Structure 1
Amino acid sequence: MRKIISHMVNSDPDLTVVGTAFDGVNALKRISQLEPDVITLDVNMPRMDGLATLKEIMKTNPMPVVMVSATTQEGAETTFQALRLGAVEYIAKPSGDISLDIGKVRDELVEKIKTAAQARIVTHEDGVCSPVQIKSGIQEKIIAIGASTGGPPAVEEILVNLPENTPPILIVQHMPVGFTESFAKRLDRICSFDVKEAEEGDAIQEGLALIAPGGQHMMVTETGRIRLSDGPPEHSVRPAVDPMMRTVAEVYGSETIGVILTGMGRDGSSGLKAIRDKGGKTIAQNEETCTVYGMPKAAIEDGNVDRVLPLYRIPHQIMKWC
């Protein structure tokens, strides 16, 4: 597997593999010697596994890490733990722990390594703050959230600080098939309201957050239900934030609160514009708390943002507007 990943990385003229390691213990020694710009780290390694190695990296020499993980439930859960510990990105092994099919995702791996090289290291400590309170009697709002690189722990931090009677929440996190269901299940366990991966025809309702499934755009119908689409990618991704936000704005108008979080690229800017054009409110995560200050920066520069806030203040602002 190390040889396959090395070959894929070295095939890009902008990247060079400076070293490899056969386990976590050896990796820590080589990292201190070679001082790489980015590390790819397998979840499953002998002697010291990926999480233990990542913890040590973040404690002694924080640097961008891209996790390599299986798309199994166990592999996905480990990936989310790694993201909370400070990993910047992850790449899925399409067919399991020892699959050589990872060669099929060369382009994705190279792109994520390049993204990681520009990333800020952000760790998210365990623990849940007291959720903010929602005003009584208001249940007409809807919250639309978009995120990419660094997004899973950021989304988690917002959701665990929202109350049980939260307005409906729609979330697009750039994430491949196999991870979104696990992400939704993890959030459902730790949030005070229900969270699930969206399905065709799901009703949008109070106390429910819906996660766009990997590989499909998530949109809203005029009757307040979910419509999933295999339509063309936008911003080279599917699901994308913009189609979700555009349809939410069209259906819910001024009752919409749009939030764009950490991530590379421009996805979400035109979606926030659609929300503001209909009288809704918009928030962008500030640069200091972003892993990658791309999507929020684009939305801010385009003039599509009402508030620029650090991550920890976003739940409170959402509830102020509710």
Structure 2
Amino acid sequence: MQPYDVLVVDDSVFMRKIITDLISGDPALRVVGTAKNGKEAVELVKKLNPHAVTMDIEMPEMNGLDALRAIMNEHPVPVIMLSSLTQEGAAETIKALEWGAVDFVGKPSGSISLDLHKVKQLLLEKLHIAVKTNMRKLSRSALSKPSPKAPEVPKDPRPFSEPASRMERRPATGAAGFEHIVAIGTSTGGPRALHQVLSDFPEYFPAPVVIVQHMPPNFTKSLAQRLDSVSRLRVVEAEAGMILESGTAYVAPGGYHMTVARNGNHSYKIHLTKEDPRGGHRPSVDVLFESLLPMRELKRHIVLMTGMGSDGAKGMLALKQSGAVTTIAESEDTCIVYGMPRAAVELKCVTHVLPQQEITAKLVQAVAREP
């Protein structure tokens, strides 16, 4: 079998050599070219037609984000971003994932980044996913400029009553102010999937949404900020002790397991731990889902979207067996990686298999039907 062709893009000669050596160590991959800026990268993608590209973000003439957009518009190929581990680098990476990048690898900081070898396994793993990605699933909607946050006042607030503003929200039903909870798990391809799903929620949605996206620290904060800018819901990176509120989405912080715990008899709160990774993940979707098992008084709606592996599938099965109202798996048609949803489908614990763009409508419908 012929190896997959990879184009390496970085403005540093040293980094291009390091990345090339890392990739060349895998017999299933070969570097067919290198580029020192985004402009060169766009031209070489057309000329070489590689199976995947590794793309630095900060480069002269044309940066990685601009190059990514041009590639996705003119000659789409799977792109892995090499991101700095700073907050600014994280924000740029989230944009790249929305605009069509398959995934990213954190790029060690420093003028001589010999410790890039530490991420060799991660880089190769993500390249193997990228070269097999069906580019038709990277919808062109991700390539347009992201829309501003939707208006606070929807045209038709039914079937829910709409508060005047977030600050004026008052509990609608029950001591905790809600009787439903939505829990979402995702991994590779998740930022764009979450962008789609959260931007479709009504602002008056009468339940909290708790989310695990496999992602390191810094990046989850930037993800939450980005999602907050496009969603009617308030979206925050979760902090220990936060009291859950309707109309708010909570993103698990990178490096921590997130669970939901009762807060006396009147509310629910976020709990964060540094316990060992589950299945290689911290945060883990299974850990979040399992924390909802005792909460039979809540109507639980569970979602698994695009991602490699099986994290969340066993937790979804347990929740289904304990009376969860809705269990949704994203369909293969829209998954960048049909791993986590497939695992749930194979366990026969899924009530609905839906494309990404239909998931929110089903959740809204399910909550409206369950008084």
* 1:310 pairs with 2:355: yes
1:93 is displaced (CA, Å) by: 1.7
* Separation (CA, whole Å) in 2 of partners of 1:236 and 1:17: 29
* 1:36 pairs with 2:61: no
Amino acid at match of 1:263: G
Asked whether the equivalents of residues 134 and 165 of structure 1 are also in contact (C-alpha less than 8 Å), the reply is no
User: Aligned in 2, Cα 1:297/1:25: closer, same or farther, shift over 3 Å?
Assistant: same
User: Aligned in 2, Cα 1:178/1:252: closer, same or farther, shift over 3 Å?
Assistant: farther
SS class of match (1:225):
strand
1:97 is displaced (CA, Å) by: 8.3
1:254 is displaced (CA, Å) by: 5.6
Equivalent of 1:284, from 307, 329, 332? 329
Equivalent of 1:190, from 230, 253, 269? 230
Give a deviation string over 1:45-104, Cα, whole Å, max 9, x none.
121111111112112221111011113232222212211221100111233687443332
Amino acid at match of 1:268: G
Q: Which has the larger radius of gyration?
A: 2
SS class of match (2:90):
helix
Greater mean alpha carbon deviation, residues 25-34 or residues 79-88: 25-34
User: Aligned in 2, Cα 1:134/1:244: closer, same or farther, shift over 3 Å?
Assistant: farther
1:1-322 matches, cutoff 5 A? 1-95=15-109, 99-121=113-135, 122-123=138-139, 124=142, 125=144, 126-127=146-147, 133-136=158-161, 137=172, 139-166=178-205, 167-223=207-263, 224-252=268-296, 255-280=299-324, 281-322=326-367
Amino acid at match of 2:106: A
SS class of match (2:93):
helix
- Give the length in aligned residue pairs: 322
Give a deviation string over 1:135-187, Cα, whole Å, max 9, x none.
34563100000111110011121111112232111000010112011111122
1:296 is displaced (CA, Å) by: 1.0
Q: Taking structure 2 as the reference length, what is the TM-score of the superposition?
A: 0.81
Give a deviation string over 1:218-254, Cα, whole Å, max 9, x none.
1122332212121222221111111101112332566
Q: Taking structure 1 as the reference length, what is the TM-score of the superposition?
A: 0.93
* Separation (CA, whole Å) in 2 of partners of 1:97 and 1:152: 30
Asked whether the equivalents of residues 184 and 195 of structure 1 are also in contact (C-alpha less than 8 Å), the reply is yes
Asked whether the equivalents of residues 98 and 195 of structure 2 are also in contact (C-alpha less than 8 Å), the reply is no
SS class of match (2:309):
coil
* Separation (CA, whole Å) in 2 of partners of 1:61 and 1:279: 47
Unaligned runs of 5+ in 1: none
Computed over aligned residues only, the root mean square deviation of the Cα atoms, in angstroms, reads 2.1
SS class of match (2:91):
helix
Asked whether the equivalents of residues 38 and 66 of structure 1 are also in contact (C-alpha less than 8 Å), the reply is yes
SS class of match (2:44):
helix
1:129 is displaced (CA, Å) by: 7.4
Amino acid at match of 2:244: I
User: Aligned in 2, Cα 1:21/1:205: closer, same or farther, shift over 3 Å?
Assistant: same
Asked whether the equivalents of residues 158 and 312 of structure 1 are also in contact (C-alpha less than 8 Å), the reply is yes
Greater mean alpha carbon deviation, residues 89-98 or residues 298-307: 89-98
* Separation (CA, whole Å) in 2 of partners of 1:14 and 1:304: 36
1:133 is displaced (CA, Å) by: 4.9
* Separation (CA, whole Å) in 1 of partners of 2:181 and 2:248: 10
Amino acid at match of 1:290: C
Amino acid at match of 1:226: I
- Using the aligned pairs only, state the percent identity: 43
Unaligned runs of 5+ in 2: 1-14, 162-171
* Separation (CA, whole Å) in 2 of partners of 1:271 and 1:290: 20
